[in-house]
Amino acid sequence: MWRIAHAVISGLAVGAGSGILANAQSIPCNGIDNCTSPFPNTTYPAAVDPNAVPGAQSGQISPPFYPSPWMDGSGGWDAAYAKAQAFVRQLTLLEKVNLTTGVGWEGDRCVGNTGKIPRLNFTGLCLEDSPVGVRDTDFNTVFPAGVTIAATWDRELFYQRGYGMGDEHKHKGVDIQLGPVVGPLGRAPEAGRNWEGFSPDPVLSGIAVAQTVKGIQDAGVMACTKHYIAYEQEHFRQVTESSGYGYNFTGEYSANLDDKTMHELYLWPFADAVRAGTASIMCVYNNINGSYGCQNSHTLNYLLKGELGFQGFVMTDWGAHHSGVSSALAGLDMSMPGDTAFDSGQSFWGANLTIAVLNGSIPEWRIDDMATRVMAGYYLVGLDKNPIPVNFDAWTTDTYGYLHYIASESYGLINEHVDVRADHGQQARTQAAKGTVLLKNTNNALPLTGKEKLTAVFGDDAGDNPYGPNGCSDRGCDNGTLGMAWGSGTANFPYLITPLTAIQNEVFSNMGAIEDVTDNYAYDQISALARRADQVGGVSLVFVNADSGEGYIVVDTNEGDRNNLTLWRGGAELIANVSSQHNNTVVVMHTVGPVDISSFYDHPNITAIIWAGIPGEQSGNAIADVLYGRVNPGGKLPFTIGKNRPDYGTDVLYRLNNGTDQPQLNFQEGVFIDYRSFDKQGIDPIYEFGYGISYTNFSYSNLKIVGQRANNYVPNAGQTKAAPTLGNFSTDPAGYVFPAGFHEVPLYIYPYLNNSDIKSASNDSDYGEPANEYLPAGSQDGSPQPKIGAGGGPGGNPQLYDVFYTVTADITNTGKVAGDEVPQVYVGLGGPDDPKVVLRGFDRLTIAPGATATFSAELTRRDFSNWDPVSQNWVISNYTKTVYVGSSSRKLPLQQALGGSSNATAGGYGTHAPAHRMF
């Protein structure tokens, strides 16, 4: 039960207080500088829902919400909205439908393609993966993966990488980049696609996604933030995929979670993406509380378009579309890739959407809203100016081929091999080096000088894939160094600089000696080389990895999700072998997430450990920069590394748990994932979230918290305008059949009817049944609707982002070399059901030796709030809030209580230097 006493800032709470409630109280300023009212207007009745069922349960349901909110141009979309409306007003119904439906898998040159509007010279939209660069082409950059850029904790690099990726998509002729990823967030450490996203922490993810979206869109293409929402594992995400692996069940898994967990954890970074202006969002394969992600009126209509005020459009994941009318009414705007099953020639939309509008199942305002949302995204990022035609083909790298691949039609030039990389390779090197995390460095074993007598390099993770860097389709193997994991979240390498190559170059430049063994199982050769390196006082560098990916590829029996947290290809044995021979063994790990390091991390012969993430094409150069001290490591872990697998408290559901029915993935842990879980359980990890050391040292002092003036929270209220309709259309089906003489590309999805009898055109045996029997209540209603209290702007009620406090602290570089430090600010929300601490801000500072820099962060209303399912709004509880500043989630030397007791202790967080006294 998460029954906490709330001071409801909305004042809208319903439900009487019960005996368990603390009295409502006001939180005083307690003498904080400039603080007139730290938590303004905080004396409110407490709220509790006597019927609230907390946590996640099998069979949980998703409440309906209709009608689908229509776009209104708020939050900076007004100009794009006006242009989109003007465009859509000119369209016929068929043309509107063409904007919403893909042409079918492999129907045109991109991984997704909308229909065209030739009359207006609109050539259709090109949608292309991925979150690391342009997929399915050549002469593109492979940027570090999300998990690695997250480890930089550097806002500017988040943006730079986003801009670089967007720029490359733009110059390939892509309109919509299918990234970034904040779903999966990282509930289960083994989940296959966590590496595509940033971090299991919603604030780190939220800041990273917002900066990435801004970067991509400033470069002139639409971002698609995905996968919305609660897509936290690969197993059972698609029945067809899983049946190929021998599972027998009837429905994709249902991720079951309560409203508080939804808001405080999984929805949080999506709110940031919406606030940053993401033009599109991709809905998921799985169900959320029993309802498919792409026809879930609660998650799409209520949360995304209602509460978060999302102005862009929602597209399906590829194959996540399961219905015609109901998905449209539930808030879906675009079907991708457009066909029901790949290359089936059938569609839930296309002609069926035309019919659904003609017969009134889908109101005119809804199709107008769908088309307007798509075009608003287009105008928002300036695609109308300087459009670049598609110059590559996703289905082959051949220069000449068919424009319509699956139909083998229209032969011509399809790949122009445009080099779009500019100087992004250098940027990717810096990004990867700055995302490298130094975990252990005994007696300054690192940095290396380059003059080691003998450098011994071990592990196939140091070297080349014998098949070539792109030798495994969608990187579906673990051969050679792990520059990228597998699945659709990949791109082709223009080169992959291996660690071995870069380290060899380093050693050659010093005329030193280097030998390597890249066969992990050549035990005798490995121990012989390590022994020699030991005897001459050299260094042994051991490269190991752990891989994972998307569910459609299985690598070494891992069906997307990892089977376990062990290092791959005998990595732990390799480390044991080398470290048994050499007392200066350095371990470098390329992994998609946490791994089991318990067998070696504290071995005395292992002098240094580095987590080098999933670094992309510049892998070798980046690790050499760190090993040889050109870059002083400043990355911090974006996740926790625990001692034992059960310590994480969450795991993948690997076995069907509901007979042959939909598997139930219950998020019983609520908001307690990663460090929040370790803290709650009182389990010490090996390396905690936010941890990472440097070649220098830093000290923290002088915490100051200055209260800012913020207005009382006013729930959004009033009514929307009525839904606009744009233009007219004839309801005579005869006007919607294929034009005479029209050439149909085989398997291509069109908006046209194949005859003027709607019943037979629909090929639906039930057609003609009274439509309203099937239509959800309210779904047709285009009249003004009540506004949602927690809404009011992109990302929710704008007042959630009011700054309550400015936090500053002094960070001093106490060592001898310049270095980067990432001070982190955490908040303890204080309630018995709150995590001990939650990250709320950070900054990456470069500090000269002996110098002191001031860290500054702003804490907003949202940062101090809990979600209240009763009032359906954010509230601030009566519990004492505490602000902490430090170098990781467990090294928080500075702290200050706000309100309540002035000398609260963090309990179990190590040494507490006294905070600067504010009271």
Residue 146 Cβ, how far from ligand NOJ at the closest point, in Å? 12
| Residues 343-362: x where in contact with ligand NOJ by CB under 6 A, - otherwise, as a string | --------------------
CA distances in angstroms from 116 to 281, 430, 734, 749, 755, listed in the order given: 21, 40, 21, 11, 21
Options 317, 547, 843, 868, the catalytic residue: 317
- The nearer residue to ligand NOJ, 280 or 501, going by C-beta atoms, is 280
Residue 221 Cβ, how far from ligand NOJ at the closest point, in Å? 14
Report the alpha-carbon distance of residue 615 to residue 591 in Å, rounded.
Answer: 10
Q: Looking only at residues 484 through 503 of this chain, which bind ligand NOJ when binding is defined by CB under 6 A?
A: 488
Report the alpha-carbon distance of residue 182 to residue 199 in Å, rounded.
Answer: 8
- The nearer residue to ligand NOJ, 201 or 234, going by C-beta atoms, is 234
Residues near ligand NOJ (CB under 6 A), total? 7
- The nearer residue to ligand NOJ, 470 or 481, going by C-beta atoms, is 470
Report the alpha-carbon distance of residue 829 to residue 832 in Å, rounded.
Answer: 9
Q: Which amino acid is at 108?
A: D
Residue 283 Cβ, how far from ligand NOJ at the closest point, in Å? 11
Report the alpha-carbon distance of residue 719 to residue 701 in Å, rounded.
Answer: 50
Residue 73 Cβ, how far from ligand NOJ at the closest point, in Å? 28
Per CB under 6 A, 242 contacts ligand NOJ: no
Let me know how long the chain is: 919
- The nearer residue to ligand NOJ, 455 or 488, going by C-beta atoms, is 488
- The nearer residue to ligand NOJ, 367 or 394, going by C-beta atoms, is 394
Q: Looking only at residues 871 through 910 of this chain, which bind ligand NOJ when binding is defined by CB under 6 A?
A: none
Report the alpha-carbon distance of residue 392 to residue 411 in Å, rounded.
Answer: 14
- The nearer residue to ligand NOJ, 393 or 868, going by C-beta atoms, is 393
- The nearer residue to ligand NOJ, 228 or 628, going by C-beta atoms, is 228
Residue 366 Cβ, how far from ligand NOJ at the closest point, in Å? 25
Report the alpha-carbon distance of residue 296 to residue 326 in Å, rounded.
Answer: 9
Residue 240 Cβ, how far from ligand NOJ at the closest point, in Å? 13
End-to-end CA distance of the chain: 35
Q: Which residues on adjacent β-strands are paired with residue 820? A: 846
| Residues 160-199: x where in contact with ligand NOJ by CB under 6 A, - otherwise, as a string | ------------------x---------------------
Residue 111 Cβ, how far from ligand NOJ at the closest point, in Å? 5
Give strand ranges (E) for 182-320: 222-228, 254-256, 280-283, 287-288, 291-292, 313-316
- The nearer residue to ligand NOJ, 317 or 506, going by C-beta atoms, is 317
- Let me know if 573 is exposed, middle or buried by CB neighbors in 10 A (0-12, 13-18, 19+): middle
φ, ψ of residue 352 to 5 degrees: the values are -65, -30
- The nearer residue to ligand NOJ, 320 or 500, going by C-beta atoms, is 320
Q: Looking only at residues 219 through 238 of this chain, which bind ligand NOJ when binding is defined by CB under 6 A?
A: 226
Report the alpha-carbon distance of residue 586 to residue 538 in Å, rounded.
Answer: 11
| Residues 673-712: x where in contact with ligand NOJ by CB under 6 A, - otherwise, as a string | ----------------------------------------
Residue 560 Cβ, how far from ligand NOJ at the closest point, in Å? 10
Report the alpha-carbon distance of residue 475 to residue 553 in Å, rounded.
Answer: 9
Residue 21 Cβ, how far from ligand NOJ at the closest point, in Å? 44
Report the alpha-carbon distance of residue 206 to residue 212 in Å, rounded.
Answer: 10
Residue 321 Cβ, how far from ligand NOJ at the closest point, in Å? 12
- The nearer residue to ligand NOJ, 473 or 755, going by C-beta atoms, is 473
Which has the closest alpha carbon to 326: 663, 768, 732, 780?
Answer: 780
Question: What is the DSSP track for 738-795?
Answer: PPTTPPPPTT---S-BSSS-HHHHHT-TTTTS-GGGTSPTTTT--S--BPPTT-SSTT
- The nearer residue to ligand NOJ, 319 or 593, going by C-beta atoms, is 319
CB of 526 within 8 A of CB of 459? no
Per CB under 6 A, 317 contacts ligand NOJ: yes
CB of 624 within 8 A of CB of 210? no
Strand (E) or helix (H) holding 177: strand 176-177
Task: Report the side by side order of strands in the sheet with 866-868.
Answer: 6-7, 873-877, 866-868
- The nearer residue to ligand NOJ, 48 or 222, going by C-beta atoms, is 222
Q: Say which residues have a Cβ less than 8 Å from residue 764's Cβ, sequence separation at least 6.
A: none
Report the alpha-carbon distance of residue 494 to residue 419 in Å, rounded.
Answer: 10
Report the alpha-carbon distance of residue 627 to residue 541 in Å, rounded.
Answer: 10
With vertex at residue 891, the alpha carbon angle to CA 596 and CA 809, rounded to the nearest 5 degrees, is 140
Pairing of strands 287-288, 254-256: parallel
| Residues 812-851: x where in contact with ligand NOJ by CB under 6 A, - otherwise, as a string | ----------------------------------------
Per CB under 6 A, 111 contacts ligand NOJ: yes
Report the alpha-carbon distance of residue 262 to residue 229 in Å, rounded.
Answer: 9
Residue 253 Cβ, how far from ligand NOJ at the closest point, in Å? 14
Position of tokens 């139909």? 407
CB of 581 within 8 A of CB of 523? no
Q: Say which residues have a Cβ less than 8 Å from residue 730's Cβ, sequence separation at least 6.
A: none
Residue 368 annotated as catalytic: no
Q: Looking only at residues 569 through 598 of this chain, which bind ligand NOJ when binding is defined by CB under 6 A?
A: none
Residue 613 Cβ, how far from ligand NOJ at the closest point, in Å? 20
DSSP 284: P
Distance of CA 725 to the CA centre of its chain: 34
CB of 319 within 8 A of CB of 283? no
Residues at the interface with ligand NOJ (CB under 6 A): 111, 129, 178, 226, 317-318, 488
Residues assigned a catalytic role: 317
